[in-house]
Amino acid sequence: MTLEGKVALVTGAASAAGLGFASARMMARAGAQVMLTDIAADAVLARAAELQGEGLKAEGMAHDVTSATEWEAVLSASVKAFGKIDILVNNAGIAVLKWMDALDVDDWQRQIDVNLTSVYLGCRVALRQMRAQGTGGSIINFSSVAGLVGIPGAAAYAASKGGVRIMTKAIAMECAKENIRVNSVQPGVIWTDMQQVAIRDNPAQYDAINATIPMGRMGEPDDIAAMVTFLASDASKYVTGGEFTVDGGLTAQ
């Protein structure tokens, strides 16, 4: 799965233990030039510097994915830095986990803005650029198993991730003939900062969660990065509009 000669943009790539950075690192090691972006500006520059330290081609940039203006700026900066964009990974996300009766309108709106509107904004600017280049492309959108099955306390998150999953298919239908492929990934429970925050008040939940997973353990960021790298590469050249669950069997039960 080589990405030699390809340029990728990955959002939400600031967390050292996160799925965005793992994906950016694996794609860079496979030969891609990578633009890492995140609202956490200092941290994303540090992650890009780590990759540069490995001799890989990477740049970092501050980016709030809810801002249409910032999307335009990030796309221009990526094209200026690397000449084009072949791969977009819409990874940035937050989890607003509240039961429905405690979920206020601001919580709901923030969840939808960061996880769903951001993906619409990113796909729109990337599609315009990829169409102008005329050489195809691959867009990978982060959904979740919460976009497939019902999880209590996750209604807003589920709405955002289910939205990403089905919006991905619709976009894929619009650009299939131009060889711009659009797919979504449904991670299961992966041990990142997001999970650590979610269960920090209840360590016993760690064992309880592992017990629900057929493979007996949470996933590692590289389990997701491997799927992202496959979807980014020409090894998946006949794959579009798909949804790819990487969950240790969680939703197969």
Ligand X SMILES: NC(=O)c1ccc[n+]([C@@H]2O[C@H](COP(=O)([O-])OP(=O)(O)OC[C@H]3O[C@@H](n4cnc5c(N)ncnc54)[C@H](O)[C@@H]3O)[C@@H](O)[C@H]2O)c1
**How far is it, in rounded angstroms, from Cα 161 to Cα 31?**
30
The one among 26, 142, 156, 240 contacting ligand X by CB under 6 A: 142
C-beta closer to ligand X: residue 33 or 160: 160
**How far is it, in rounded angstroms, from Cα 49 to Cα 126?**
24
In whole angstroms, how far apart are CA 59 and each of 12, 27, 62, 139, 226? 14, 13, 11, 19, 21
C-beta closer to ligand X: residue 19 or 167: 19
Q: Does residue 183 interact with ligand X by CB under 6 A?
A: no
Q: Does residue 89 interact with ligand X by CB under 6 A?
A: no
Segment 5 to 64, residues that bind ligand X, using CB under 6 A: 11-12, 14-15, 18-20, 38-40, 63-64
In three-state secondary structure terms, 38 is: strand
- Spell out the residues 6+ positions from residue 196 whose beta carbon is closer than 8 angstroms to its own: none
The one among 8, 97, 127, 190 contacting ligand X by CB under 6 A: 190
**How far is it, in rounded angstroms, from Cα 53 to Cα 69?**
31
Q: Does residue 137 interact with ligand X by CB under 6 A?
A: no
Residues assigned a catalytic role: 157
**How far is it, in rounded angstroms, from Cα 243 to Cα 166?**
9
Q: Does residue 65 interact with ligand X by CB under 6 A?
A: yes
DSSP state of 64: -
C-beta closer to ligand X: residue 72 or 178: 72
H-type helices in 152-220, by residue range? Answer: 155-175, 193-198, 204-212
C-beta closer to ligand X: residue 172 or 190: 190
Residues that bind ligand X in the complex, under the rule CB under 6 A = 11-12, 14-15, 18-20, 38-40, 63-66, 91-95, 114, 142, 144, 187, 189-190, 192-195
